[in-house]
Amino acid sequence: MRQFVKFFPLLAVVVISLAGTATVEAATGLNPPVKLVWHYYKVTNTCDDAESYIRYQVEKFYKNDSSIAPKLLRLLYSDCMVNGCDASVLLQGPNSERTAPQNRGLGGFVIIDKIKQVLESRCPGVVSCADILNLATRDAVHMAGAPSYPVFTGRRDGGRLNADAVDLPSPSISVDESLAYFKSKGLDVLDMTTLLGAHSMGKTHCSYIVDRLYNFKNTGKPDPTMNSTLVSQLRYLCPPRTQKGQTDPLVYLNPDSGSSNRFTSSYYSRVLSHNAVLRVDQELLNNDDSKEITQEFASGFEDFRKSFALAMSRMGSINVLTGTAGEIRRDCRVTNANYGA
């Protein structure tokens, strides 16, 4: 039997032994130095019920629109993977981070703004937008079927970042390029393979996959690693882009989940059967470690859930601001210097 995860307090310690022969090196906790605290607002007696307030608002939104789960996941990823988890992606304005081409179609801003308004009415100037984003994402994906992992808190909010500073990679990169990007953020192959599993729900624009459907690597043919049936299905939804201003439809990243927005391991089964929509997902089979992990997750949903809990905690600790660094915004859309302006 495969040995995969054993639990210690608060976070999983991941020990991977795959198929009895392959061993994947993986992190066993958060990247040091960790300056965050579990239940920070309760421990510091600054806003004891902050997490309850957040959860209540997420539940209200989720009941009306389950797509907030993939929207918040992408929003958190887009924040943490660029300049660290500092809520800079929430700031509005010309040439702001959220206007970068890679962030086209980002959603979830409305729920974060609503939660912030509620918390400001109860605990003014206390709970950071960065913590709200991390906690709300955890609660939303838990409602979608993910584990309710511990979110360490005490983050502070960062300043404005220009759009050209956004270095999020294309979803059409190779697995080596993808792994290099994740490693540049202090994450490893297990984190990468696990976090890409978030593509078990949500949508993508046709423009990100038309190369795989019609002209992969300028061959004039579809990507040979994509199942021919999937090629036909997606071609029906995504016609060739031949005209300027042509519409750019959205398609499900995981047609198995579709509009249900459920957190499942079917993503990994689709990768193994060459039914991944994005190239970056299908590329997981082109690296020995990520392929082994993909096989493990496809056969064991609980393994994926447990690894997801750790990977999200590790991503949520990237370059966080604590102590006196940064600020606690009064409005997540603007820095305090521009608040009320």
- Binding-site residue positions for Ca(2+): 79, 82, 84, 86, 88, 97, 256
Q: What residue numbers does the annotated binding site for substrate cover?
A: 169
Cis peptide preceding 249, ω within 30 of 0 = no
- Active-site residue, 55 included: no
Q: Are 72 and 137 in contact (CB under 8 A)?
A: yes
Q: Which residue type sits at 130?
A: A
Bridge partners of residue 162, in order along the sequence? 96
Q: Are 249 and 209 in contact (CB under 8 A)?
A: no
Token pair 């907030």: residue:
68
Q: How far apart are CA 169 and CA 2, in angstroms?
A: 33
Tell me if residue 32 falls in helix, strand or coil: coil
Q: How many CA atoms lie within 13 A of 118 on its CB side?
A: 17
Tell me if residue 266 falls in helix, strand or coil: helix
Q: Interior CA angle at 192 toward 155 and 98, to 5°?
A: 50
Q: Interior CA angle at 280 toward 279 and 283, to 5°?
A: 80
Q: What are the respective helix, strand and coil percentages of the chain, to the nearest 5?
A: 50, 10, 40
Q: How far apart are CA 179 and CA 189, in angstroms?
A: 6
Q: How many CB atoms are closer than 10 A to CB 207?
A: 13
Q: How far apart are CA 138 and CA 69, in angstroms?
A: 9
Q: What residue numbers does the annotated binding site cover?
A: 79, 82, 84, 86, 88, 97, 169, 199, 256
Tell me if residue 13 falls in helix, strand or coil: strand
Catalytic residue among 74, 138, 212, 270: 74
Q: Which residues are catalytic?
A: 74
